[in-house]
């Protein structure tokens, strides 16, 4: 506990207020742990919900500086540990891994933490939570940032086209499986942009596990509809 207060003091000195807490969500049987950052002074511009993949937790968003960076930019950022992971290991997941969780799960999290409307950042495993929330509660979401989330194949092109939430799809240059599948499906979102993020940069930001021999990044590239169509055609040929 002493170390936490030292950390809290240091972040306050840098203009950031950093706290920890827990939230009880119906059906989880145990609380969900979360880390929160916000500006130490001044008005909060927007709320951001940071989710994570199966090998990660809210601690990664702390260690790579994302929580601090968002707070310095005027955001209130909340990184939760999803059920069964991180410091939420005792919490029971509302659905098996790879199946869609009830849309009400993240809705309840956001309501209890007063996050709406919220920017949702959703890598990998967290797609099973974020996608149902996106489809059923658009009014609660300010923007959606998927990073190769799972479960994108569980919705039709027509369902994606019905979503009007501004979305920024992050695609890794070395993710030739889940990344391509999710990009192809998510590109049906009505209001989206796509950014190619080179693997080493994603690795540095904690969005993917470390991988030996990855190329060093030189830039990020915005994908055009032609790029996306090419990926879809490759997938069709490989079936």
129 within a domain of the structure (yes/no): yes
Q: How many domains does the chain have?
A: 1
- Report the range out of 134-148, 190-204, 220-234 with the highest average pLDDT: 134-148
Predicted pLDDT of residue 172: 77
11 within a domain of the structure (yes/no): no
223 within a domain of the structure (yes/no): no
36 within a domain of the structure (yes/no): yes
232 within a domain of the structure (yes/no): no
Whole-prediction pTM: 0.81
Predicted pLDDT of residue 198: 59
Residue 167 has pLDDT above 90, yes or no: yes
Predicted pLDDT of residue 31: 97
234 within a domain of the structure (yes/no): no
Predicted pLDDT of residue 203: 57
Average pLDDT over residues 34-55: 95
The CATH code of the domain that includes 27 is 3.40.50.1820
Report how far residue 101's alpha carbon sits from residue 90's, in angstroms, rounded to the nearest whole number: 17
235 within a domain of the structure (yes/no): no
Range of the domain at 167: 20-197
15 within a domain of the structure (yes/no): no
- Report the range out of 41-50, 208-217, 218-227 with the highest average pLDDT: 41-50
């Amino acid at each position: 506990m002493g170390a936490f207060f030292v950390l809290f003091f240091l972040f306050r000195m840098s203009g950031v207020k950093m706290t920890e807490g827990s939230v009880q969500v119906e059906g989880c049987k145990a609380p969900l742990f979360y880390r929160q950052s916000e500006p130490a002074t001044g008005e909060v511009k927007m709320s951001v919900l940071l989710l994570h993949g199966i090998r990660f937790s809210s601690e990664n968003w702390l260690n790579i500086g994302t929580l601090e960076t968002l707070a310095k930019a005027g955001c209130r950022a909340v990184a939760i540990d999803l059920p069964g992971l991180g410091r939420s290991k005792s919490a029971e997941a509302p659905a098996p891994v790879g199946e869609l969780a009830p849309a009400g799960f993240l809705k309840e999290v956001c309501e209890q933490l007063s996050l709406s409307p919220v920017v949702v950042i959703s890598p990998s495993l967290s797609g099973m939570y974020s996608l149902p929330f996106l489809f059923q509660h658009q009014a609660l979401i300010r923007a959606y940032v998927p990073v190769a989330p799972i479960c994108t194949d569980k919705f039709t092109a027509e369902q994606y086209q019905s979503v009007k939430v501004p979305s920024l799809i992050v695609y890794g240059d070395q993710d030739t499986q889940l990344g391509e599948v999710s990009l192809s499906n998510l590109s049906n979102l009505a209001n989206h942009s796509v950014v190619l993020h080179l693997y080493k940069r994603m690795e540095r930001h904690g969005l993917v596990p470390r991988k030996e021999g990855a190329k060093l990044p030189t830039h990020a590239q915005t994908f055009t509809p032609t790029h996306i169509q090419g990926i879809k055609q490759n997938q069709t040929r490989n079936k």
